[in-house]
Amino acid sequence: MPEVMTVEQAREAVFATLPEPVVERVALLDALGRVLAENARSDIDVAPFDNSAMDGFAVRAEDLVGASPESPVELDVIAHIAAGDAPEMEVGPRQAARIMTGAPVPAGVDSVVMVERTRVVSGDGGVGSRVAFELEPRLGEHIRLRGEEVRAGDVVMEAGEVVGPAGVGLLASTGHAEVAVYRRPRVAVISTGSELVEVDVTPGPGKIRNSNSYSIAAQVLAAGAEPVRYAIVPDDLEATRTAFRKAAEDCDFIVTSGGVSVGDFDYVKPVLEELGELTFCKVAMRPGNPQTLGTIGGVPFFGLPGNPTSTYVGFEIFVRPSLRKMQGFDALDRPVTRATLAHDVKKKQGRRYYLRGRVDRTGEGYTASLPYSQSSALLTAAHRGNCLVVLPQGEGFFPAGTPVDCIRLDMEEGTP
Ligand code: AMP
Ligand code: MG
């Protein structure tokens, strides 16, 4: 391993530590937003029977040849079929059945005429009535056929597909009260730092609130995984050991914040080396160059820097795609919008920058701007912005008008 990794090398190294996605069976609704782990087949034909797509009359199209508003054709109504009925009659020539949407189409008919194109001549429109038809239906019109969606035994959804709300409906109609999906990883969220106090405490002298624990847990949730927030770990060797050991026993992935720099009380790296393996601890990026990867007892460990923005960006670039990979998602990267810089930007040459900015549609194309402070201690830019403006390694000055990539934090992976 090089001492300082590029972002790409670092991401490859993180992906290489990940276990295979684990399959679990869950109640159908819990599958929403997750990746199906096995092909799902239908137990029945859907639709299960030919049924009417309209409220109207089921007819034989040949009876209505030539029917129009000027020369309507009259038929006798011999049945009245509601959704849920199981009609056994057969409709004969010059006869019709009054039928509701979703009701089974009886034997003998081949088309449905919507009620709006008919007129009751005598009776109430139900059985025993005579009805005039003002149009000639196409053969099969307004009839939804048995098996139109899927046939019994056929695959209705394939392993690897993401279950959206429509997919939940499809799985419901095909008999899946439970489905096999990939498990949400349990992610340990550990904040280190003797300066930290809980969120409900007003910080005393020299203290700050443990905001990273919440922002990281929120990012874990947003990535579809399950956060397990640990108590604050002070900058102390033994406390760090105890917390890391416990996390490696309880969780599938460990994320820490702080304690990975070269400070005198930064214990994350030494404890990681002692309990497991340290893979790298520097990535040529800004914010957040001390991004740290390792494993403890085979459990992937990612040490994010403590500065809230470095934490946030590091999670986006390394941890979020990892958690998605562990859940079987193919799409690991957010969409990127190519935009034109609205103003000059200067940077240090050696690192890739991820600036918290905005991308907006302007006329034909897109404009990238950085209207907020870029201090890595401040989160407002990440909150107000909608993208990470990427400035490549190796260059130092980007005049207004330079085309840049903007990673869309406001769009899901896989969005075209
Ligand atoms: P460190 O990486 O531990 O040197 O921390 C870098 C900076 O991030 C320091 O100013 C810390 O006070 C701040 N910081 C560390 N952990 C947290 C946290 N959990 N929440 C908010 N800020 C933090
Ligand atoms: Mg610290």
* Mutation to probe ligand 1, out of 212, 216, 229, 240 (largest number of atoms < 8 A from CB): 212
- For residue 258, give the ligand nearest its CA: 1
By three-state DSSP, how is residue 90 classified? strand
What atom in ligand 1 is closest to the CA of residue 310? 8
Q: Report domain extents, the chain.
A: 7-22+183-326, 29-44+151-182, 51-144, 336-408
Q: Which ligand is closest in space to the CA of residue 234?
A: 2
CATH superfamily entry for domain 29-44+151-182: Molybdopterin biosynthesis moea protein, domain 2 (3.90.105.10)
Query: Per-residue pLDDT for the chain (416 aa), expressed as one digit of tens each?
Result: 778 999 999 999 999 999 999 999 999 999 999 999 999 999 999 999 999 999 999 999 999 999 999 999 999 999 999 999 999 999 999 999 999 999 999 999 999 999 999 999 999 999 999 999 999 999 999 999 999 999 999 999 999 999 999 999 999 999 999 999 999 999 999 999 999 999 999 999 999 999 999 999 999 999 999 999 999 999 999 999 999 999 999 999 999 999 998 889 899 999 999 999 999 999 999 998 999 999 999 999 999 999 999 999 999 999 999 999 999 999 999 999 999 999 999 998 889 999 999 999 998 899 999 998 888 788 899 999 999 999 998 889 999 999 999 999 999 999 98
Dihedral, CA of residue 377, residue 382, residue 387 and residue 388, to nearest 10: 10
Nearest to 61 by CA among 120, 143, 147, 145: 143
d(CA 334, CA 410): 9
Select 51-144's CATH number: 2.170.190.11, 3.40.50.300, 3.50.50.60, 2.40.340.10: 2.170.190.11
**Superfamily of segment(s) 336-408:** MoeA, C-terminal, domain IV (2.40.340.10)
- Atom of ligand 1 at shortest range from CA of 215: 20
| Shortest-distance Cα residue to atom 10 of ligand 1 | 307
Rounded to the nearest whole angstrom, what is the distance from the C-alpha of residue 157 to the centroid of ligand 1? 45
| Spacing, Cα 175 to ligand 1 middle (Å) | 50
Residues with CB under 6 A from ligand 1: 191, 193, 195-196, 208, 210-213, 257-261, 263, 305-308
| One-character DSSP codes across 106-173 | PBT--EEEEGGGEEEEESSSSTT-EEEE-S-PPTTTTEEPTTSSB-TTSEEE-TT-B--HHHHHHHHH
Beta carbons of 63 and 73 less than 8 angstroms apart:
yes
pTM exceeds cut of 0.75: yes
C-alpha separations of 373 from 77, 239, 292, 317, 325 in Å: 75, 35, 26, 20, 33
Superfamily classification of domain 7-22+183-326 = MoaB/Mog-like domain (3.40.980.10)
